[in-house]
A and B are shown apart, each in its own frame.
Chain A
């Protein structure tokens, strides 16, 4: 029995869904969990708060468990001081819920820029005067060092965030991120929301992953309610998820090449990406497939016309993509920019549990479609591409190979999709209060975690969403060290972390 199972067996059990154990621990048990994670015995999946408790979710030996610490005095031992990946999650938890981590390694606010007019909006909420949003960045001292502030408004069409570079000539000595600019208070809006409104909001946490988020939310709610969607809905969900993955990967591959000033590939990838979005519109009625996945099933049927459109899309990409891959691989000037640039060492990917192409380009072979896995993926055959180099080039190649895998998945889905209903209607039973559900879903960027607890009448009491970017943003700071400033856009695009998904 590993430490997580043991802690769960020994603690008081919460009312969690079958197979998703959650147990209470005391402060010592909480600290111990941090020590185990710090020693590499498991992966931190998330850490989140409520008004009077904190939760920690970890993956140990392929099994997921949640530990809860009651915090009546709004204080708790810091996990982040032992295990760095928890640091920003703890800072966010303090800003939103007022839970103070003792002996925290970093006491600066994270999401709270002093602009909300309130403090701890989801905990002991009190009015706060609008102060300055000044922030103490870490320095790097010495005569040749200079700082370059970038953002929150960037030069490209991208989301806002601030990057503070300390450079020695052209070489980056330190990068520090400051995020939270697009914080929209989604936790607050979700508390007390109906499931319908919840699905709508969750689908707008990070627009590029709207399908994956809606899927994660639906899974979590269905687990909480013990609701089984019809088989056809599960297959159509997977079809949408793979279309979303392909669209984003194609966009990213092109954009990375564009940041290396190779616009030809950007143009051709852009054409293929537009093809995916138009097919999504024709097949499911929305280019990004927003609001198509809801708890209980899906809201759009794949008609014969839609089926034909998706099949034609797969054929088109299969026809044109290999030439683009060959061009990427055979252009020395482009390879010169991507190979050995922005290297993320495998031990960091492992420590942070980095998901998606970032983890997989640095040897971490994790894919939520395999572990814990969810329908219909156990019935489908696909590989999880992994690379060792950890550079921009490796992250491009993982995307390339994932496009190929997703095409094969779509073909299998088109062939094997069962007929039947699209949605299981939920009949209220009156026992919804306190039911919980957890889901881990593979978005294009990595694993998205969703946890819900329901209130009476089937409303949401609390819904926690953890974007893969939480464990990827900090790694960009590491990967960029020693690179030149001019390579930052290239590295940043190869990571393509979500600002909105992170800031919530």
Chain B
């Protein structure tokens, strides 16, 4: 173990430079965010991931955000275990009818101010599962969505861009403390 730790100390970090968020994402978000909410949250967001019917492809890429290359936590973004600790719900999947109530209850359990990010083509618009008796459809048809990150699944870089945009937008109007 010592050798492994020593090697890690000596080599350069694997973590890559942060991607810049798209201007459009920022503009969209700025519209949706209240000034009060921005002030309260500052530059730290707690994220609760909710799989509302995904094929688990999106989960794999969301997991990847925690690896050494993307290192999500350096941005003040971290995944939390309960909606009660969360500022952001990161929702995937075409919202299966069997998960609808669980999603609604998770949203209700998240304290305001809160944001919802719909990640992946299914969460954005039901994806390939459109027309099924077992799916409600886009996340936005169940709970209000602030940001959509497309992709099947969205690669970690796209997820990162979206989440950083959320951070920047929430911090933009925050007075320095």
Q: Are A210 and B51 in contact (CB under 8 A)?
A: no
In the assembled complex, which residues on chain B have CB atoms less than 8 Å from the CB atom of A41?
A: none
A331 — nearest CB in chain B belongs to which residue? B1
In the assembled complex, which residues on chain A have CB atoms less than 8 Å from the CB atom of B133?
A: 116-118, 121, 185, 188
Q: Are A189 and B54 in contact (CB under 8 A)?
A: no
Bitwise, A240-277 to B at CB < 8 A (1) or not (0) is 00000000000100000000000010011011011001
Q: Are A207 and B54 in contact (CB under 8 A)?
A: yes
Q: Are B64 and A277 in contact (CB under 8 A)?
A: yes
A189 touches which one: B53, B57, B96, B129 (CB < 8 A)? B129
Interface size, chain A (Cβ < 8 Å)? 56
Bitwise, B114-127 to A at CB < 8 A (1) or not (0) is 00000000000001
**A181-B102, A204-B57 as given contacts; A158 in contact with B51, CB under 8 Å:** yes
Asked if B128 is an interface residue, CB under 8 A from chain A, the answer is yes
Asked if A474 is an interface residue, CB under 8 A from chain B, the answer is no
Bitwise, B1-23 to A at CB < 8 A (1) or not (0) is 10111000000001000000000
Asked if A500 is an interface residue, CB under 8 A from chain B, the answer is yes
| Chain B, 61-117, CB within 8 A of any chain A CB | 61-64, 66-69, 79, 81-83, 93-94, 96-102, 106
| Chain A, 175-213, CB within 8 A of any chain B CB | 180-186, 188-189, 197, 200-201, 204-208, 210
In the assembled complex, which residues on chain A have CB atoms less than 8 Å from the CB atom of B82?
A: 155
Q: Are A271 and B69 in contact (CB under 8 A)?
A: yes
A267 touches which one: B67, B81, B106 (CB < 8 A)? B67
Minimum distance in angstroms from B82 CB to a CB of chain A: 7
Cα(A153)–Cα(B105), bound, Å: 10
Q: Are B68 and A182 in contact (CB under 8 A)?
A: no
Q: Are A182 and B51 in contact (CB under 8 A)?
A: yes
**A113-B98, A115-B97, A270-B67 as given contacts; A182 in contact with B54, CB under 8 Å:** yes
Q: Are A182 and B58 in contact (CB under 8 A)?
A: no
Minimum distance in angstroms from B142 CB to a CB of chain A: 13
Cα(A197)–Cα(B131), bound, Å: 13
Q: Are A290 and B57 in contact (CB under 8 A)?
A: yes
Minimum distance in angstroms from B57 CB to a CB of chain A: 3
In the assembled complex, which residues on chain B have CB atoms less than 8 Å from the CB atom of A206?
A: 55-56
B127 — nearest CB in chain A belongs to which residue? A204
Q: Are A271 and B54 in contact (CB under 8 A)?
A: no
Asked if B146 is an interface residue, CB under 8 A from chain A, the answer is no
Asked if A156 is an interface residue, CB under 8 A from chain B, the answer is yes
In the assembled complex, which residues on chain A have CB atoms less than 8 Å from the CB atom of B97?
A: 113, 115-117
A182 — nearest CB in chain B belongs to which residue? B53
Asked if A79 is an interface residue, CB under 8 A from chain B, the answer is no
Q: Are B129 and A270 in contact (CB under 8 A)?
A: no
Q: Are B134 and A204 in contact (CB under 8 A)?
A: no
Asked if B153 is an interface residue, CB under 8 A from chain A, the answer is yes
Q: Are B56 and A208 in contact (CB under 8 A)?
A: yes
In the assembled complex, which residues on chain B have CB atoms less than 8 Å from the CB atom of A188?
A: 132-134
A115 touches which one: B14, B52, B100, B129 (CB < 8 A)? B100
A271 touches which one: B60, B68, B129 (CB < 8 A)? B68
B50 — nearest CB in chain A belongs to which residue? A153
Minimum distance in angstroms from A116 CB to a CB of chain B: 6
Cα(A287)–Cα(B63), bound, Å: 14
In the assembled complex, which residues on chain A have CB atoms less than 8 Å from the CB atom of B54?
A: 159, 182, 207, 500
Minimum distance in angstroms from A166 CB to a CB of chain B: 22
A184 touches which one: B1, B64, B129 (CB < 8 A)? B129
Asked if B135 is an interface residue, CB under 8 A from chain A, the answer is yes
Cα(A184)–Cα(B133), bound, Å: 8
In the assembled complex, which residues on chain A have CB atoms less than 8 Å from the CB atom of B100?
A: 115
Cα(A116)–Cα(B132), bound, Å: 10
B81 touches which one: A156, A180, A277, A330 (CB < 8 A)? A156
Asked if A498 is an interface residue, CB under 8 A from chain B, the answer is yes
Q: Are A267 and B56 in contact (CB under 8 A)?
A: no
A200 touches which one: B102, B128, B131, B132 (CB < 8 A)? B128
Minimum distance in angstroms from B171 CB to a CB of chain A: 25
Q: Are A288 and B98 in contact (CB under 8 A)?
A: no
Q: Are A210 and B132 in contact (CB under 8 A)?
A: no
In the assembled complex, which residues on chain A have CB atoms less than 8 Å from the CB atom of B53?
A: 181-182, 184
Asked if A499 is an interface residue, CB under 8 A from chain B, the answer is yes
**A207-B60, A288-B60 as given contacts; A184 in contact with B67, CB under 8 Å:** no
Asked if A323 is an interface residue, CB under 8 A from chain B, the answer is yes
Q: Are B68 and A270 in contact (CB under 8 A)?
A: yes
Q: Are A183 and B59 in contact (CB under 8 A)?
A: no
B135 touches which one: A185, A197, A288, A500 (CB < 8 A)? A185
Question: What would be 27 A-B contacts, judged by CB atoms less than 8 Å apart?
Answer: A111-B98, A113-B98, A115-B97, A117-B97, A121-B133, A153-B50, A157-B62, A159-B56, A159-B59, A182-B51, A182-B98, A182-B99, A184-B94, A184-B132, A184-B135, A185-B133, A188-B132, A188-B133, A204-B57, A207-B55, A270-B66, A271-B68, A288-B153, A290-B57, A327-B1, A327-B4, A331-B1
Q: Contacts A115-B101, A188-B134, A207-B60 known; list 11 others, CB within 8 Å.
A: A113-B98, A133-B101, A153-B102, A160-B52, A181-B96, A181-B99, A182-B54, A182-B96, A206-B56, A208-B57, A281-B155
- A-B residue pairs, 5 tightest by C-beta: A207-B57, A185-B134, A185-B132, A155-B81, A270-B67
Residue ranges of B at the interface with A (Cβ–Cβ < 8 Å): 1, 3-5, 14, 49-64, 66-69, 79, 81-83, 93-94, 96-102, 106, 127-129, 131-135, 152-153, 155
